[in-house]
Amino acid sequence: MSGVEILSQQTVPIYETNWWLVVGIIVLICVLYFAACLILDKHTCIDVDIDVVDVLVICVVCILLFGFIFTKQTSEYIEYKVTVDDSVSFSAFKNRYEILGEDGKVYTVKEKSDENGELND
């Protein structure tokens, strides 16, 4: 777009986590643990002195650990640092770019895409 000067650009990855898989694995681990307790010996698992806080901390650590393991990059976009000339219509600029941030006269933008992920021209 004429009147828009690109100062820099960088590729920004987009990550996605399958949280249902993470929760399912943790639930499966808990079910298997309690099933093993019932099969082997009830008292060894039930008599352990574990506070509720300990259980919560263990669950949070498991969620974070499995969350990182099952996170994958699904796509990426290019982020631009640009300056806009006074000759550019700001409405035309906003129709083409999504403004992510502003630092004085330097805008951080990405190109808008349609519903199919195609970049608008």
Q: Bigger pLDDT: 63 or 53?
A: 63
Comparing CA positions, the residue from 108, 112, 117 lying closest to residue 74 is: 117
Instruction: Give yes or no for residue 86 having a pLDDT over 90.
Output: no
Q: For the segment 28-52, what is each residue's pLDDT rounded down to a tens digit? A: 877 777 777 667 665 555 555 556 6
Q: Is the pLDDT of residue 62 over 90?
A: no
The string over 61-70, giving b where at least 16 C-beta atoms fall within 10 Å of a residue's C-beta and e elsewhere, is: ebeeebeeee
> Whole-number mean pLDDT of the chain?
78
> Pick the residue with more confidence: 9 or 47?
9
> How confident is the model at residue 51, as a pLDDT?
60
Q: How many CB atoms lie within 10 A of CB 6?
A: 11
What's the whole-model pTM score?
A: 0.55
Whether 70 shows a pLDDT value over 70: the answer reads yes
